[in-house]
Amino acid sequence: MKVRKAVFPVAGLGTRFLPATKALPKEMLPVVDIPLIQYAVEEALNSGIEQIIFVTGRGKTALENHFDRSVELENILKSKNKEDTLKVVEAIVPETGTIIYTRQNEPLGLGHAIWCARDVVGDEPFAVLLADDLIKSKEPVLKQMLQRFNRLRASMVAVMEVAKEETNKYGIIDGKDIEDNVVDIQALIEKPDPESAPSNLAAIGRYILTPEIFNILGEKKRGAGNEIQLTDAMEILLKKQPVFGYRFDGTRFDCGDKAGFLMANIAFAMERDDLAPQIKEFFK
Ligand code: G1P
Protein backbone atom coordinates (compact mmCIF):
# COMPACT_ATOMS: atom_id res chain seq x y z
CA MET A 1 0.00 0.00 0.00
CA LYS A 2 1.23 3.49 -0.89
CA VAL A 3 2.37 5.74 1.96
CA ARG A 4 -0.23 8.50 1.78
CA LYS A 5 -0.16 10.08 5.22
CA ALA A 6 2.45 11.98 7.19
CA VAL A 7 2.28 12.83 10.89
CA PHE A 8 3.87 16.01 12.22
CA PRO A 9 4.19 16.11 16.01
CA VAL A 10 3.97 19.85 16.75
CA ALA A 11 2.74 20.00 20.34
CA GLY A 12 6.17 20.55 21.94
CA LEU A 13 6.73 23.64 24.08
CA GLY A 14 10.05 24.72 22.59
CA THR A 15 11.59 25.60 25.95
CA ARG A 16 15.08 25.68 24.41
CA PHE A 17 14.10 28.79 22.45
CA LEU A 18 12.49 30.82 25.22
CA PRO A 19 11.71 33.67 25.33
CA ALA A 20 11.14 33.59 21.52
CA THR A 21 8.73 30.66 21.86
CA LYS A 22 6.65 32.03 24.75
CA ALA A 23 3.80 33.04 22.43
CA LEU A 24 5.15 31.70 19.11
CA PRO A 25 5.13 27.96 18.28
CA LYS A 26 8.75 26.81 17.84
CA GLU A 27 7.79 25.30 14.46
CA MET A 28 7.05 28.85 13.24
CA LEU A 29 10.65 30.01 13.79
CA PRO A 30 11.89 31.01 10.33
CA VAL A 31 14.99 29.84 8.54
CA VAL A 32 15.56 32.95 6.41
CA ASP A 33 11.87 33.71 5.73
CA ILE A 34 10.20 30.28 5.77
CA PRO A 35 8.96 28.71 9.02
CA LEU A 36 10.47 25.33 9.94
CA ILE A 37 7.09 23.61 9.64
CA GLN A 38 6.66 24.81 6.07
CA TYR A 39 9.94 23.20 4.99
CA ALA A 40 8.76 19.91 6.51
CA VAL A 41 5.26 20.06 4.97
CA GLU A 42 6.72 20.91 1.55
CA GLU A 43 9.17 18.01 1.85
CA ALA A 44 6.24 15.66 2.52
CA LEU A 45 4.08 16.98 -0.32
CA ASN A 46 7.05 16.94 -2.73
CA SER A 47 7.60 13.30 -1.75
CA GLY A 48 4.08 12.30 -2.79
CA ILE A 49 2.32 12.48 0.61
CA GLU A 50 -1.39 13.25 0.21
CA GLN A 51 -2.53 13.88 3.76
CA ILE A 52 -0.87 15.97 6.45
CA ILE A 53 -1.69 15.16 10.07
CA PHE A 54 -0.68 17.69 12.73
CA VAL A 55 -0.57 16.51 16.32
CA THR A 56 -0.87 19.88 17.91
CA GLY A 57 -1.63 21.39 21.31
CA ARG A 58 -2.63 24.52 23.16
CA GLY A 59 -1.06 27.76 21.93
CA LYS A 60 -0.41 26.46 18.42
CA THR A 61 -3.12 28.23 16.41
CA ALA A 62 -0.46 30.15 14.45
CA LEU A 63 0.32 26.85 12.71
CA GLU A 64 -3.27 26.37 11.59
CA ASN A 65 -3.50 29.95 10.40
CA HIS A 66 -0.23 29.64 8.48
CA PHE A 67 -1.64 26.88 6.29
CA ASP A 68 -5.01 28.55 5.81
CA ARG A 69 -5.93 31.36 3.46
CA SER A 70 -5.79 34.94 4.67
CA VAL A 71 -8.28 36.70 2.41
CA GLU A 72 -7.59 40.09 4.00
CA LEU A 73 -3.84 39.80 3.36
CA GLU A 74 -4.46 38.54 -0.19
CA ASN A 75 -6.71 41.54 -0.89
CA ILE A 76 -4.15 44.02 0.41
CA LEU A 77 -1.36 42.45 -1.68
CA LYS A 78 -3.64 42.53 -4.75
CA SER A 79 -4.56 46.18 -4.22
CA LYS A 80 -0.87 47.07 -3.93
CA ASN A 81 0.03 45.09 -7.07
CA LYS A 82 2.40 42.85 -5.10
CA GLU A 83 1.79 39.89 -7.40
CA ASP A 84 5.00 38.03 -6.55
CA THR A 85 4.39 38.17 -2.80
CA LEU A 86 0.77 37.16 -3.37
CA LYS A 87 1.93 34.05 -5.22
CA VAL A 88 4.28 33.15 -2.33
CA VAL A 89 1.46 33.54 0.20
CA GLU A 90 -1.04 31.54 -1.87
CA ALA A 91 1.42 28.70 -2.53
CA ILE A 92 1.66 27.89 1.21
CA VAL A 93 -1.93 26.67 1.39
CA PRO A 94 -2.50 23.04 0.35
CA GLU A 95 -5.82 22.08 -1.15
CA THR A 96 -8.53 22.41 1.49
CA GLY A 97 -9.06 19.19 3.46
CA THR A 98 -5.45 18.05 3.03
CA ILE A 99 -4.47 18.91 6.61
CA ILE A 100 -6.06 17.23 9.60
CA TYR A 101 -5.47 18.43 13.15
CA THR A 102 -5.60 16.36 16.30
CA ARG A 103 -4.37 17.28 19.75
CA GLN A 104 -1.97 15.77 22.23
CA ASN A 105 -3.44 16.92 25.53
CA GLU A 106 -0.50 15.95 27.78
CA PRO A 107 3.25 16.28 27.05
CA LEU A 108 4.03 12.56 27.40
CA GLY A 109 6.68 12.30 24.70
CA LEU A 110 7.19 11.74 20.97
CA GLY A 111 5.80 8.19 21.05
CA HIS A 112 2.64 9.41 22.73
CA ALA A 113 2.27 12.23 20.16
CA ILE A 114 2.40 9.68 17.32
CA TRP A 115 -0.10 7.44 19.11
CA CYS A 116 -2.53 10.40 19.23
CA ALA A 117 -2.77 10.10 15.41
CA ARG A 118 -3.70 6.38 15.45
CA ASP A 119 -7.31 6.75 14.33
CA VAL A 120 -6.50 9.34 11.69
CA VAL A 121 -3.78 7.13 10.20
CA GLY A 122 -5.68 3.83 10.51
CA ASP A 123 -4.28 0.52 9.28
CA GLU A 124 -1.67 1.68 6.76
CA PRO A 125 2.02 2.60 6.70
CA PHE A 126 2.71 6.29 7.33
CA ALA A 127 5.53 8.81 7.57
CA VAL A 128 6.63 10.96 10.52
CA LEU A 129 8.55 14.20 10.08
CA LEU A 130 10.12 16.19 12.92
CA ALA A 131 10.29 19.82 11.77
CA ASP A 132 13.29 20.51 14.07
CA ASP A 133 15.41 18.38 11.77
CA LEU A 134 15.80 20.52 8.69
CA ILE A 135 17.57 18.72 5.86
CA LYS A 136 19.03 20.46 2.84
CA SER A 137 19.15 18.02 -0.07
CA LYS A 138 18.69 17.79 -3.82
CA GLU A 139 15.97 15.20 -3.50
CA PRO A 140 13.63 15.37 -0.46
CA VAL A 141 14.84 12.90 2.15
CA LEU A 142 11.38 11.44 2.63
CA LYS A 143 11.25 10.74 -1.12
CA GLN A 144 14.61 8.96 -0.92
CA MET A 145 13.23 6.84 1.92
CA LEU A 146 9.94 6.07 0.18
CA GLN A 147 11.84 4.66 -2.78
CA ARG A 148 13.55 2.15 -0.43
CA PHE A 149 10.33 1.51 1.48
CA ASN A 150 8.48 0.58 -1.69
CA ARG A 151 10.99 -2.22 -2.20
CA LEU A 152 11.68 -3.31 1.40
CA ARG A 153 8.13 -2.83 2.78
CA ALA A 154 9.34 -2.40 6.37
CA SER A 155 9.66 0.42 8.90
CA MET A 156 12.55 2.75 8.32
CA VAL A 157 14.27 5.69 10.01
CA ALA A 158 16.74 8.21 8.61
CA VAL A 159 20.17 7.82 10.23
CA MET A 160 23.50 9.65 10.35
CA GLU A 161 26.73 9.47 12.34
CA VAL A 162 26.97 11.98 15.19
CA ALA A 163 29.85 12.88 17.53
CA LYS A 164 30.36 10.13 20.13
CA GLU A 165 29.86 12.62 23.00
CA GLU A 166 26.43 13.55 21.63
CA THR A 167 24.78 10.11 21.70
CA ASN A 168 22.70 11.24 24.70
CA LYS A 169 20.76 13.61 22.41
CA TYR A 170 19.51 10.91 20.00
CA GLY A 171 17.99 7.53 19.45
CA ILE A 172 21.09 5.38 18.76
CA ILE A 173 21.21 2.39 16.46
CA ASP A 174 23.02 -0.91 16.50
CA GLY A 175 22.88 -2.43 13.03
CA LYS A 176 24.61 -3.88 9.98
CA ASP A 177 25.00 -2.13 6.64
CA ILE A 178 23.32 -4.30 4.04
CA GLU A 179 23.04 -2.42 0.73
CA ASP A 180 22.47 0.92 -0.93
CA ASN A 181 22.77 3.06 2.25
CA VAL A 182 20.42 0.74 4.12
CA VAL A 183 21.19 -0.51 7.63
CA ASP A 184 19.51 -3.58 9.08
CA ILE A 185 18.74 -2.48 12.65
CA GLN A 186 19.33 -4.95 15.47
CA ALA A 187 18.69 -2.62 18.41
CA LEU A 188 17.66 0.95 19.17
CA ILE A 189 18.21 2.84 22.38
CA GLU A 190 16.98 6.32 23.27
CA LYS A 191 19.58 8.85 24.41
CA PRO A 192 22.29 6.51 25.78
CA ASP A 193 25.38 7.93 27.51
CA PRO A 194 28.44 7.82 25.25
CA GLU A 195 29.93 5.01 27.42
CA SER A 196 26.97 2.69 26.90
CA ALA A 197 26.00 3.68 23.32
CA PRO A 198 26.30 0.74 20.88
CA SER A 199 27.47 3.11 18.10
CA ASN A 200 27.34 6.74 17.04
CA LEU A 201 24.67 6.11 14.39
CA ALA A 202 21.71 8.33 15.30
CA ALA A 203 18.05 8.42 14.32
CA ILE A 204 17.09 11.67 12.59
CA GLY A 205 13.54 12.99 12.40
CA ARG A 206 12.22 11.14 9.33
CA TYR A 207 10.42 7.84 9.80
CA ILE A 208 8.24 5.49 7.79
CA LEU A 209 6.32 3.21 10.13
CA THR A 210 4.04 0.23 9.77
CA PRO A 211 0.72 0.57 11.66
CA GLU A 212 1.71 -2.20 14.14
CA ILE A 213 3.62 0.56 15.97
CA PHE A 214 0.32 1.92 17.35
CA ASN A 215 -0.43 -1.18 19.43
CA ILE A 216 3.04 -1.00 20.96
CA LEU A 217 2.72 2.74 21.68
CA GLY A 218 -0.73 2.06 23.17
CA GLU A 219 0.92 0.13 26.00
CA LYS A 220 2.27 3.51 27.13
CA LYS A 221 5.53 2.21 28.58
CA ARG A 222 7.73 5.04 29.87
CA GLY A 223 11.36 5.29 28.81
CA ALA A 224 14.13 7.91 28.80
CA GLY A 225 13.09 11.14 30.54
CA ASN A 226 10.00 9.26 31.86
CA GLU A 227 8.42 9.80 28.41
CA ILE A 228 6.71 7.42 25.98
CA GLN A 229 9.46 7.09 23.40
CA LEU A 230 9.05 6.24 19.70
CA THR A 231 12.54 4.69 19.78
CA ASP A 232 11.48 2.21 22.48
CA ALA A 233 8.39 1.23 20.46
CA MET A 234 10.58 0.64 17.39
CA GLU A 235 12.89 -1.54 19.50
CA ILE A 236 9.86 -3.73 20.34
CA LEU A 237 8.64 -3.62 16.71
CA LEU A 238 11.93 -5.02 15.40
CA LYS A 239 11.43 -8.20 17.43
CA LYS A 240 8.39 -8.84 15.17
CA GLN A 241 9.37 -7.38 11.80
CA PRO A 242 12.49 -5.86 10.22
CA VAL A 243 13.29 -2.19 10.82
CA PHE A 244 15.81 -0.42 8.60
CA GLY A 245 17.98 2.66 8.88
CA TYR A 246 18.57 4.80 5.83
CA ARG A 247 21.76 6.85 5.43
CA PHE A 248 20.24 9.82 3.63
CA ASP A 249 21.81 12.11 1.08
CA GLY A 250 21.71 15.67 2.44
CA THR A 251 22.91 18.04 5.16
CA ARG A 252 20.92 18.01 8.37
CA PHE A 253 20.57 21.01 10.68
CA ASP A 254 19.42 20.53 14.26
CA CYS A 255 17.03 23.46 14.46
CA GLY A 256 15.96 22.46 17.96
CA ASP A 257 19.35 23.79 19.02
CA LYS A 258 20.36 27.47 18.85
CA ALA A 259 23.69 26.89 17.10
CA GLY A 260 22.13 24.47 14.60
CA PHE A 261 19.31 26.92 13.91
CA LEU A 262 21.73 29.77 13.24
CA MET A 263 23.86 27.57 10.97
CA ALA A 264 20.73 26.62 9.01
CA ASN A 265 19.94 30.29 8.53
CA ILE A 266 23.41 30.99 7.20
CA ALA A 267 23.46 27.93 4.92
CA PHE A 268 20.03 28.65 3.42
CA ALA A 269 20.76 32.39 3.07
CA MET A 270 23.98 31.61 1.18
CA GLU A 271 21.89 29.87 -1.47
CA ARG A 272 19.81 32.96 -2.08
CA ASP A 273 20.97 35.38 -4.77
CA ASP A 274 19.31 38.31 -2.96
CA LEU A 275 21.18 37.62 0.30
CA ALA A 276 24.45 35.77 -0.36
CA PRO A 277 26.57 38.80 -1.40
CA GLN A 278 25.72 40.74 1.77
CA ILE A 279 26.29 37.76 4.06
CA LYS A 280 29.67 37.05 2.41
CA GLU A 281 30.68 40.68 2.86
CA PHE A 282 29.66 40.58 6.54
CA PHE A 283 31.75 37.48 7.21
CA LYS A 284 34.77 39.10 5.58
C1 G1P B 1 13.78 12.79 18.99
C2 G1P B 1 13.84 11.27 19.11
C3 G1P B 1 15.28 10.79 18.96
C4 G1P B 1 15.85 11.28 17.64
C5 G1P B 1 15.72 12.81 17.55
C6 G1P B 1 16.14 13.30 16.17
O7 G1P B 1 14.44 13.35 20.09
O8 G1P B 1 13.31 10.89 20.38
O9 G1P B 1 15.31 9.39 18.98
O10 G1P B 1 17.20 10.90 17.54
O11 G1P B 1 14.36 13.24 17.77
O12 G1P B 1 16.14 14.68 16.11
P13 G1P B 1 14.23 14.90 20.53
O14 G1P B 1 15.12 15.70 19.64
O15 G1P B 1 12.80 15.21 20.37
O16 G1P B 1 14.69 14.96 21.98
Q: Is the pLDDT of residue 98 over 90?
A: yes
Q: In CATH, what number is assigned to the domain containing residue 245? A: 3.90.550.10
115, part of any domain: yes
Q: What is the best residue among 7, 170, 231 to mutate for testing ligand 1's pocket, by most ligand atoms within 8 Å of CB?
A: 170
64, part of any domain: yes
**Which residue minimizes the CA distance to atom 11 of ligand 1?**
205
175, part of any domain: no
Q: Is the CB of 40 under 6 A from ligand 1?
A: no
Say if CB 27 and CB 131 are below 8 A apart: yes
Give how far the C-alpha of residue 83 lies from the chain's centroid of Cα atoms, to the nearest Å: 31
Using DSSP's 3-state secondary structure scheme, residue 83 falls into helix
Q: Tell me: the pLDDT tens digits for 177-208? A: 998 899 999 999 999 999 999 999 999 999 99
Q: Is the pLDDT of residue 282 over 90?
A: yes
* pLDDT at residue number 191: 97
Q: Is the pLDDT of residue 221 over 90?
A: yes
Ligand 1 atom nearest residue 133's Cα:
12
Query: Helices 36-46 and 141-152 sit at what angle, rounded to 10 degrees?
Result: 40
**Which residue minimizes the CA distance to atom 6 of ligand 1?**
204
Ligand 1 atom nearest residue 202's Cα:
10
278, part of any domain: no
* pLDDT at residue number 177: 96
User: For residues 180 and 135, which has the higher predicted lDDT (pLDDT)?
Assistant: 135
Q: Tell me: the pLDDT tens digits for 1-48? A: 899 999 999 999 889 999 999 999 999 999 999 999 999 999 999 999
215, part of any domain: yes
184, part of any domain: no
247, part of any domain: yes
* pLDDT at residue number 180: 82
Say if CB 216 and CB 233 are below 8 A apart: yes
pTM surpassing 0.85?
yes
pLDDT-based confidence at residue 156 (cuts at 50, 70, 90): very high
* pLDDT at residue number 199: 97
Q: Is the CB of 36 under 6 A from ligand 1?
A: no
C-alpha 175 – ligand 1 centre gap (Å):
18
Structural domain total, the chain = 1
- The rounded percent of the chain whose pLDDT value lies above 90 is 98
Q: Is the CB of 228 under 6 A from ligand 1?
A: no
Of 138, 139, 141, 107, nearest to 127 by C-alpha is 141
262, part of any domain: no
- The rounded percent of the chain whose pLDDT value lies above 70 is 100
Q: What is the best residue among 110, 199, 248 to mutate for testing ligand 1's pocket, by most ligand atoms within 8 Å of CB?
A: 110
Using DSSP's 3-state secondary structure scheme, residue 128 falls into strand
Domain coverage including residue 246:
5-160+202-219+227-251
